[in-house]
Amino acid sequence: MAGLPPIISIITPSYNRVDELKYLYNSLQEQSVDLKLLEFIVSDDGSTDSTEETVKHWQTESNFPIKFITQKNQGPGAARNHGLENSEGELILFIDSDCEAHPDWIQTIYEEYLNDSFDACGGPDGAKDDFTTLQKAIDFAMTSFITTGGMRGHSEKMMAKFFPRTHNMGIKRSVYEKVGGFGDLRHGQDIELSNRIRKSGARIKFLINAVVYHRRRTSIKQFFKQVFNWGVARINLGKIDSSMLEPIHFLPSLATMFGFSIVGTAIYLDFPLDQLFLLIFIPLGLLSLFGATKKNDLRIFPYLLVVIPAQIIGYGLGFILNFIKRYILNQGSWTGFKKRYYA
């Protein structure tokens, strides 16, 4: 499509996610903003599915220009950098391939951009009605201030200061040119970039109405590996800059060690198993019921009974193991689970 250079570049890394990418593409076609302002860059990370053929078909029908670029598999950070190198817009937006954008997502950010209210920004992610019950349960766990969602800093209610994440992030080109792109971390590279942006003195703003919908993991196993890797990543981030490892980040690992010690001690002392079960189930059940009530969906209650401990234990174990490797044994950077990182 010929015409004026785009004002807004949307960059999405993708690896063998053609089915999920279709939802994102459709949501971008339905944006309320003037689509002539956009370019969409699919930065492929060496996919072996039909991503290339699908995107090339979109190029023939789309209401905005689409660029398809590809590279040998190097991870999402490298794919985003490849997208940045091929972008033209003065406002650069990142959204992940397993996300969908609310119809006003770009318009909300663009209006704030025109008002010069930020240098970098981000917004919330949530679940749509057509998501699976498991995805809705994971969404609660990942966004609630009473679980590790409070460590993500998604709003003033949450415990950590806000660092935009690349499932929903915007930066001005001038910021990118000042601080550079993503580092070489396999996980957590968006937090590291946000940290550099913050330390540069740039203005970071949380836009409550800039909403995306996150199609989260489709199995407990995938979810456990994901949060395990995030626990690993937090230690790697702390090694880069100690300010990225705060006391709050130790809470899941402390909860994990406390839980295992209680169970181990109870078994050693021959504590009645039925009472031990109640000791664990009652607080977990109340927390899960709170989550189901908060989401107005009691169907997620039984899923939360599994998702919440999987989240806390997964993150906690990744954190503990990498803490031992990096801070006690003085070993080099560790990635965690490598296979099927995008999935």
- Map 115-153 to HEC letters: CCCCCEEECCEECCCCCCHHHHHHHHHHHCCCCHHHHCC
Tens of pLDDT along 173-217? 999 999 999 998 989 999 999 999 999 999 999 999 999 999 887
With tokens 């836009």, the residue in question is 207
Name every residue whose Cβ is closer than 8 Å to that of residue 243 and which is 6 or more positions away in sequence.
Answer: 195
- The answer to whether position 134 is within a domain reads no
Whats the size of the chain, residue-wise?
343
Domain boundary residue, one of 149, 182, 216 = 216
Q: Are residues 318 and 228 in the same domain?
A: yes
Query: Which of 271, 308, 264, 310 lies closest to 286, judged by CA?
Result: 308
Last residue of a domain, one of 198, 216, 234: 216
| Per-residue confidence (pLDDT) for residue 161, from 0 to 100 | 75
- Total tally of structural domains belonging to the chain: 2
SS3 71: coil
Question: Is residue 143 assigned to a domain?
Answer: no
pLDDT band at 267 (very low <50, low <70, confident <90, very high): confident
Q: How far is it, in rounded angstroms, from Cα 323 to Cα 339?
A: 22
74 and 186 belong to one structural domain: yes
Report the C-alpha gap between 86 and 180 in whole angstroms: 14
DSSP string covering 211-279, please? -EEE---SSHHHHHHHHHHHHHHHHHHHHH-GGGS-GGGGHHHHHHHHHHHHHHHHHHTT--HHHHHHH
> Mean pLDDT across the stretch 146-165?
63
Tokens of 119: 């240098």
Q: What is the C-alpha to C-alpha distance for residues 321 and 307, in angstroms, rounded to an integer? A: 21
3-state SS of 194-227 is HHHHHHCCCCEEECCCCCEEECCCCCHHHHHHHH
Residue 259 lies in a domain: yes
Q: Is the pLDDT of residue 340 over 70?
A: no
Question: Helices (H) and strands (E) in the chain — how many of each?
Answer: 11, 10
- The verdict on 185 and 87 lying in the same domain is yes
The answer to whether residue 45 is domain-embedded is yes
Model confidence pLDDT, tens digit, residues 77-111? 999 999 999 999 999 999 999 999 999 999 999 99
Domain of residue 23, residue span: 8-123+164-216
Both 200 and 169 in one domain: the answer is: yes
CA distance 217 to 117: 34
- Which CATH number fits the domain that encloses residue 109? 3.90.550.10
Locate 63 and state its tokens: 């209401």
HSE of 278, CA atoms in CB hemisphere, 13 A: 4
What's the pTM?
0.90
| In a shared domain, residues 172 and 237 | no
Mean pLDDT confidence for 41-50 = 96
Q: Does residue 39 lie within any of the structural domains? A: yes
- Asked whether residue 113 is assigned to any structural domain, the reply reads yes
Burial environment of residue 273 by CB neighbours within 10 A (0 to 12, 13 to 18, 19 or more) = exposed
Q: Are residues 34 and 115 in the same domain?
A: yes
Tell me if 133 is assigned to some domain: no
Q: Are strands 91-94 and 169-172 parallel, antiparallel or unpaired?
A: antiparallel
- pLDDT per position as a tens digit, 162-184: 899 999 999 999 999 999 999 98
The radius of gyration of the chain's CA atoms, rounded to the nearest angstrom, is 21
Q: For residue 164, give the DSSP letter.
A: -
Q: Are residues 203 and 240 in the same domain?
A: no
25 contact partners, CB below 8 Å, separation of at least 6: 40, 58, 62
Give the number of other CB atoms < 10 A from CB of residue 299: 11
Instruction: Say if 173 falls within a structural domain.
Output: yes
Q: Are residues 231 and 173 in the same domain?
A: no
Do 189 and 305 share a structural domain?
no
- Mean pLDDT across 261-266: 90
Q: With residue 77 as reference, give the H or E element that holds it.
A: helix 76-85
